[in-house]
Amino acid sequence: MKKHRIALIPGDGIGAEVVPAARRVLDAVTARHGIALAYDSFDWSCERYVAEGAMMPPDGLDRIRAHDAILLGAVGYPGVPDHVSLWGLLIPIRRAFRQYVNLRPIRVFDGVPSPLREARPGDVDFVVVRENVEGEYSEIGGRLNRGFPEEMAVQEAVFTRAGVTRVLDYAFELAARRGGKVTSATKSNGIVHTMPFWDELVTERAAAFPQVAWDQEHIDALAAKFVLDPARFDVVVASNLFGDILSDLAAAIAGSIGIAPAANLNPEREFPSMFEPVHGSAPDIAGLGIANPLGAIWSAAMMLDHLGHAEAAKDVTDAIAAVLAKTDVRTPDLSGTATTAELTDKLLELL
């Protein structure tokens, strides 16, 4: 049996609390399925930045390039500007390893009330496919006339045919596998160059998947429909910025950001993909041992799936659903009193 090499980057704050919980679940499920994982841990974090002036060492990317996957907690800490932690670690990993798909599944679970009255368990089950390496989050631009009244900043959005096509193909293939449909997020009424180009490519790629139904919505209307009728969505594909915002909105619809998982995928598997909960380092609760581990655990399940272990992944997501549906063990973000360890223990009992 092939041994998968996993790079663990717990990061800051509750990242260092939820990654060990995910690791316990991985240990249990891989033992049962005869899957071999070998771990290397890296202390890359804001704490390291404060001590050594960099989030990761200069050869950091090379140290994890040969791993099969990366499991990350979260980075960010008060005192270190967020653009330092993001551009010093997460974004270099996403870009150097061509993780051009950011995949975020959204489910309303039985036992976790959604803030939306109409969002019922079972009905709301969709994925946001976010373009993850270009678009609005580009390094092209600059500042001019600093300190003068005419001070200015320019930030260019970059949409390439290759970059848009590959993320659309991923979304259409995913919808075909799920037997579902694609909704494309656009804003071609207001953004007159890049978004009409995006729409043209959607039409072009849709023609290659005649079995998959699709539609498109302007991002503003789409945000409203997420709230009014979340059950109508299956695969939502969006540019970097639109996908970023929509996926946090979607995580909120599902009841808690502590449950939401994400995968940064290099679908060609030329480089490792990275799995991380959607939440950040939560400095307000860090160190208290009460962080919800389910987002990290679900992310670990997505990692198993990516590594070719769909059954083991399903065991984990079934255990997440079971602990929420059948028990009242909850961390405080879900209005309970359980600790991270207690919720993980209960999930392991049900696994």
The footprint of ligand NAI (CB under 6 A) covers 14, 18, 74-77, 82, 85, 90, 257-258, 276, 279-285, 291-292, 295, 331, 333
Taking the complex as a whole, the smallest distance from the CB of residue 245 to Mg ion amounts, in Å, to 7
Pick what 315 binds: Mg ion, ligand NAI, none; C-beta below 5 to 8 Å, kind-dependent. Answer: none
Q: Which of residues 236-265 bind Mg ion (CB under 5 A)?
A: 244
CB atoms within 10 A of CB 276: 29
Pick what 257 binds: Mg ion, ligand NAI, none; C-beta below 5 to 8 Å, kind-dependent. Answer: ligand NAI
What are the residues facing 113 on neighbouring strands? none
Q: Is 62 one of the catalytic residues?
A: no
Q: Note whether 333 binds Mg ion by CB under 5 A.
A: no
Block residue for tokens 């498109």:
216
CB 63 within 8 A of CB 332: no
As given in the structure block, the two tokens for residue 314 are 């399903």
Q: Which residue, 90 or 119, has its beta carbon nearer to ligand NAI? A: 90
* Rounded Cα gap, residues 190 and 195, in angstroms: 8
H-helix segments, the chain = 15-33, 46-52, 60-64, 82-85, 91-96, 161-178, 194-207, 219-228, 240-253, 294-306, 310-326, 340-350
Pick what 168 binds: Mg ion, ligand NAI, none; C-beta below 5 to 8 Å, kind-dependent. Answer: none
Set 244, 305, 315, 333: catalytic member? 244
- 293: buried, middle or exposed (CB in 10 Å: 19+, 13-18, 0-12)? buried
Q: Which residue, 68 or 244, has its beta carbon nearer to Mg ion? A: 244
Set 77, 170, 187, 315: catalytic member? 187
Taking the complex as a whole, the smallest distance from the CB of residue 72 to ligand NAI amounts, in Å, to 7
* Rounded Cα gap, residues 90 and 45, in angstroms: 10
CB atoms within 10 A of CB 140: 9
Q: Is 220 one of the catalytic residues?
A: yes
Taking the complex as a whole, the smallest distance from the CB of residue 351 to ligand NAI amounts, in Å, to 19
DSSP for 167-184, please give it: HHHHHHHHHHHHT-EEEE
Taking the complex as a whole, the smallest distance from the CB of residue 217 to ligand NAI amounts, in Å, to 26
Pick what 244 binds: ligand NAI, Mg ion, none; C-beta below 5 to 8 Å, kind-dependent. Answer: Mg ion
Q: Is 49 one of the catalytic residues?
A: no
Q: Which residue, 195 or 297, has its beta carbon nearer to ligand NAI? A: 297
Taking the complex as a whole, the smallest distance from the CB of residue 34 to ligand NAI amounts, in Å, to 30
Q: Which residue, 90 or 329, has its beta carbon nearer to ligand NAI? A: 90
Taking the complex as a whole, the smallest distance from the CB of residue 272 to ligand NAI amounts, in Å, to 16
Site string for Mg ion, 198-237 (x = CB under 5 A): ----------------------------------------
* Rounded Cα gap, residues 26 and 279, in angstroms: 20
Q: Is 169 one of the catalytic residues?
A: no
* Rounded Cα gap, residues 19 and 293, in angstroms: 8
Set 220, 318, 326, 328: catalytic member? 220
Q: Is 2 one of the catalytic residues?
A: no
Q: Which residue, 20 or 283, has its beta carbon nearer to ligand NAI? A: 283
Set 229, 248, 314, 345: catalytic member? 248
Amino acid at 308: G
* Rounded Cα gap, residues 145 and 69, in angstroms: 44
Pick what 14 binds: ligand NAI, Mg ion, none; C-beta below 5 to 8 Å, kind-dependent. Answer: ligand NAI
What Cα–Cα distance (Å) separates residue 13 from each residue in 32, 158, 199, 258? 31, 33, 40, 14
CB 306 within 8 A of CB 274: no
Interface residues with Mg ion (CB under 5 A) are: 244
Enumerate the active-site residues.
137, 187, 220, 244, 248
